[in-house]
Structure 1
Amino acid sequence: MLSVLLKHSGAKVLFVDSQLLEKAQGALELLSQSNASPPLLVVISEPGSPTPSTDIDYENLITNADPQFDIRWPVDECEPISINYTSGTTSKPKGVIYTHRGAYLNAIATVLMHEITSMPVYLWTVPMFHCNGWCLAWGVAAQGGTNICIRKVTAKVIFSSISLHKVTHMGGAPTVLNSIVNSPAGDRKPLPHKVALMTGGSSPPPQVLFQIEELGFTVIHIYGLTETYGPATACTWKPEWDSLPAEEKARTKSRQGLHHSGIEMDVKDPVTMKSVPQDGKTMGEVMFRGNTVMAGYYKDREATAEALAGGWFRSGDLAVRHDDGYIQLKDRSKDIVISGGENISTIEVESVLFGHPAILEAAVIARPDEHWGETPCAFVKLKEGCSASEEEIVKYCRDSLPHYMAPKTVVFEDIPKTSTGKVQKYVLREKAKAMGSISQTNGAPKI
């Protein structure tokens, strides 16, 4: 993957941490086999450790640089500032072009959404390569913040870092929140104060939101895509929701909410391009336009034209809009399960699965079925020391969902994820496809 992205981007310089030097060298070797020009390798070494003689040392490069160098400012604010590659959860990664204008506006908007005041202490559990760390690589600097960087994201490291450095803000995908709430008691430390935690990337289960706030975190739920510079909406909290029961609060906070000031958002019928009614029921595709929508995909005019058809960026996410204007995601258009003509939201099924006391992680996809067309198939990972049978999990879901929505198959295994913590559903779809039709093996399931 690294060699493919280096070749596609035409990068001239590659900065690499010494712990990842072997991987970087492997990528450059693959790159040389394709007759592409390799980038200059700059190694960021541990203090006191030697740098390979063939490479440039980062600290020496900075020390010996001319402090009076001429800054090359952009001629136009719409010039590219970076290329950020998509996660590749549904297809091969695409190079998303960010502009100086869009990056500036989204950095400021994200600072406001995350309620980051001056001199924050920010813990990096969002990878900086992912949408430029949701644009907070710039935003934290703008507020004069301290960056706490960790090599491996674990609950124990998170609690230790918060305690040691008095962290005020952090961000993370729902998988990070899930690891925190399911961490052993011995890995936890009391929080020195409320820690603002911004989460997004996929819909967090309400149960996880409820549990994480009980531990002393204040969750700010955002939503966006690489193509929208990261955060594009936030579930802005209303004072009247304070009186709701705790579980209802969590369900409300799991909505994706309203757009921020740099972008316009709507939920539209992808064919007619008409806005769906704000009834909380009618599904449409989430679409964006404005300053913080990408300039396009690098070297891919066809994909750019398809994504921006009709003057709006088509996210591929399906959602409903409530009467207060807040949106709520129901699924990716590619992930929706259509069983016997009924649309099944995998997000809703996953939310129920996360409520099972033995389940640590869950992902639902469509399994082919000769009788129903498709049926829900759940991949689950159990908590350490816990057990549950397929029959028990199916019954648990049927107690909370219409029977047609409950999984007809449960597979127990580790769930594959991208480097940003998102579930690789395309991998699971291939596994479910290889399993064949459930009707072929068990007859038509009873619903």
Structure 2
Amino acid sequence: MQKPLLVTDFLDRAREHYGDHEAVVATTGDRYTYAELGERADGFAAALQDRGIEKGDRVAVLDPNTHYHLEAAYGAMQCGAVHTPLNYRLTTEDFAYILSDAGVDAVYADYEYAEKIEAVRDEVPTETFVTNDPAAVDGDWEGFDACLDGAGDYDRPEMSEDEVITINYTSGTTGDPKGVMRTHRTETLHAYIVTIHQDIADDDVYLWTLPMFHVNGWGHIFAVTGMGAKHVCTRGVDAASIFDTVVAEDVSYLCGAPTVLNRLIDHYRDGDPQTAGDNDVRIATAGSAPPEATIRTVEDEFGWYLSHVYGATETGPLVTTSDARRLFDDDDPDRFAVKKRQGLGYLGTEVRVVDEGGEEVPRDDETIGEVVVRGNQVMEGYWNQPEATERAFSERIEGYYHTGDLATVNENGLISIQDRKKDIIVTGGENVSSIELEDTLFEHPAVGDAAVIPAPSDEWGEEPKAFVVPTNGDVANPGVTPEELISFTRERLAGFKALKQVTFVESLPTTATGKVQKYELRSQEWEDEERMVGEG
């Protein structure tokens, strides 16, 4: 027997079995049961259809992590429309590009960000504009709640699991964003394996510190909903409010990039807040490998259980986990060496590390190759970009998505990312991992955050340079000198791997999900050079 895999099944299941149970704690202080969440999603679906939205039309959602995002997403998908979440940190020009590229027919935008859409509304094909507070927005915008009040019933069209239901745009740090097409099937199967590997259960209380727009919140808008767990919404990441909410709402699960973990650690050390309510807390992190010192603080001082996961927008995103508990004991200090690795492939996911010829590298944890992925959660392709899609699936080995990440593999098959292809530092003919250097720097108490990139070198072609955010936040008096940090790395690594330059900065450029945008640092460092790569 074959039953179509549809993303609408997740809310349907929650409504059927958990209708009277609390589904959402809103940023407004309101609380909604799953029955009420479903009614609001139905109302938005009807409102969209009243305004001419049909199956296959694109509906954009621009929202911080509020209940409106959940309602707009499910409302659109119940119409068979394609949910197109937008990164709220983008510029008006970015929004103009995405709305036009996707041919977006309707947009819901939170009142804080609607002005960025209003500025380009005459340049885009969008005809329906909805916000949660039209009084706070210039221009002709309809109110979300008013749309619900005036809506009747909606007709759910017949849908196929192979039809595109979401388009997630990549960050576009090296060019225009690309629309990653995801079908009902890819979203559903990704949510299934996330539910398993992240241990999501119906009594979980999930805190939305991860942007919902980012690959549909790593699939958590589906997984948390489908299991009947509770969503606790936010309007941004603030360390103090995270700890306060974890305690007040008995949060049991949240996600956060290493930069978010650093903010939490800084606040914890400054104020010694309570770190848990009645529930044990677990946290998933991804983006870049968290240093062992960070994991140690989160687990030993916060008392939270940390799992390190890995993936890309194109892969669902999640494809690996370090949560291989048969390979370490919970009280074993050696567990940190396992947890900082990207780890093992998720169920049904084939993760390989291959050389230039497409052959798997040996499991010696030294030989570097590119991570390629095949699985049911991998994207259908890039929206209107067949050539880019072809390249992504065929560069080294046919039929696998090529991540661009370089990694080694150990004897147990756990991968460890060494760098992005474009971030590997080639100095004097030797390959240097910026991640290894960053991990070393994090062991120094004066280093709060750091990013290492290749800098131009007359002698070596390029050489490692670190941008360091001091722990004390004082760039003028960081508590350590560049020379001391350079010596610190030389004492712990092979000589050719040691830092050659250090610059102290107040902050690092990051994406909305906390990923450091090294491309910006490289552009700044190489602006006087003819090419952004050395001849090392």
What TM-score does the superposition give when structure 1 sets the normalisation length?
0.91
Q: Which runs of 5+ in 2 are unaligned?
A: 1-93, 531-536
Partner residue of 2:282 out of 196, 201, 215: 196
- The residue aligned with 2:95 is 2
Q: Which runs of 5+ in 1 are unaligned?
A: 438-447
Partner residue of 1:380 out of 449, 464, 468: 468
Q: Which amino acid aligns with 1:7?
A: S
1:231 and 2:318 equivalent? yes
Cα distance in 1 for partners of 2:120, 2:364 equals 50
1:144 and 2:144 equivalent? no
Q: Which amino acid aligns with 2:453?
A: I
Asked whether the 8 Å contact 2:246–2:275 carries over to 1, the reply is no
- The residue aligned with 2:169 is 85
1:300 and 2:385 equivalent? yes
Asked whether the 8 Å contact 2:99–2:125 carries over to 1, the reply is no
1:220 and 2:307 equivalent? yes
Aligned positions of 1:221-260 closer than 5 A:
221-242=308-329, 245-246=332-333, 248-260=334-346
Partner residue of 2:410 out of 322, 325, 347: 322
Provide the identity percentage: 37
* Cα drift, residue 108 of structure 1: 1.2
Asked whether the 8 Å contact 1:89–1:426 carries over to 2, the reply is yes
Asked whether the 8 Å contact 1:262–1:292 carries over to 2, the reply is no
Cα distance in 1 for partners of 2:378, 2:408 equals 21
Q: Which amino acid aligns with 2:509?
A: P
For the structure 1 residues 17 and 340, does the alpha-carbon distance in structure 2 shift closer, same or farther, using more than 3 Å as the test? same
Aligned residue for 1:137, secondary structure, equals helix
Aligned positions of 1:48-197 closer than 5 A:
54-67=140-153, 69-74=154-159, 76-183=160-267, 184-186=269-271, 188-192=273-277, 193-197=279-283
For the structure 1 residues 279 and 39, does the alpha-carbon distance in structure 2 shift closer, same or farther, using more than 3 Å as the test? farther
Q: Which amino acid aligns with 2:497?
A: M
Cα distance in 2 for partners of 1:170, 1:243 equals 20
Aligned residue for 1:399, secondary structure, equals helix
Asked whether the 8 Å contact 2:115–2:137 carries over to 1, the reply is no
Q: Which amino acid aligns with 2:314?
A: E
Deviations 1:64-114 (A, max 9, x none): 2223x210132x311101000112344432110001001000011111111
- The residue aligned with 2:5 is none
Asked whether the 8 Å contact 1:367–1:436 carries over to 2, the reply is no
Asked whether the 8 Å contact 2:118–2:138 carries over to 1, the reply is no
Q: Which amino acid aligns with 2:504?
A: F
* Cα drift, residue 345 of structure 1: 0.5
- The residue aligned with 2:481 is 389
Asked whether the 8 Å contact 2:243–2:276 carries over to 1, the reply is yes
Cα distance in 2 for partners of 1:54, 1:65 equals 19
* Cα drift, residue 144 of structure 1: 0.8
- The residue aligned with 1:279 is 364
1:356 and 2:440 equivalent? no
Asked whether the 8 Å contact 2:164–2:181 carries over to 1, the reply is yes
Cα distance in 1 for partners of 2:137, 2:423 equals 46
Asked whether the 8 Å contact 1:89–1:418 carries over to 2, the reply is no
For the structure 1 residues 373 and 160, does the alpha-carbon distance in structure 2 shift closer, same or farther, using more than 3 Å as the test? same
Residues paired across the two proteins, number: 426
* Cα drift, residue 370 of structure 1: 2.0
Q: Which amino acid aligns with 1:376?
A: P
* Cα drift, residue 252 of structure 1: 1.4
Cα distance in 2 for partners of 1:243, 1:11 equals 48
Asked whether the 8 Å contact 1:156–1:187 carries over to 2, the reply is no
Asked whether the 8 Å contact 1:122–1:145 carries over to 2, the reply is yes
* Cα drift, residue 51 of structure 1: 6.9
Asked whether the 8 Å contact 1:266–1:275 carries over to 2, the reply is yes
Asked whether the 8 Å contact 2:455–2:526 carries over to 1, the reply is yes
Q: Which amino acid aligns with 1:291?
A: N
For the structure 1 residues 141 and 391, does the alpha-carbon distance in structure 2 shift closer, same or farther, using more than 3 Å as the test? same
1:263 and 2:355 equivalent? no
Aligned residue for 2:101, secondary structure, equals helix
Aligned residue for 2:187, secondary structure, equals helix
* Cα drift, residue 4 of structure 1: 1.4
* Cα drift, residue 156 of structure 1: 0.4
- The residue aligned with 1:429 is 522
Cα distance in 1 for partners of 2:147, 2:467 equals 48
* Cα drift, residue 152 of structure 1: 2.1
Q: Which amino acid aligns with 1:358?
A: A
Aligned residue for 1:311, secondary structure, equals coil
Asked whether the 8 Å contact 2:114–2:137 carries over to 1, the reply is no
Q: Which amino acid aligns with 2:226?
A: A
Aligned residue for 1:266, secondary structure, equals strand
Cα distance in 2 for partners of 1:419, 1:289 equals 27
* Cα drift, residue 240 of structure 1: 4.9
Aligned residue for 2:261, secondary structure, equals helix
Q: Which amino acid aligns with 2:492?
A: S
Q: Which amino acid aligns with 2:366?
A: K
- The residue aligned with 1:444 is none
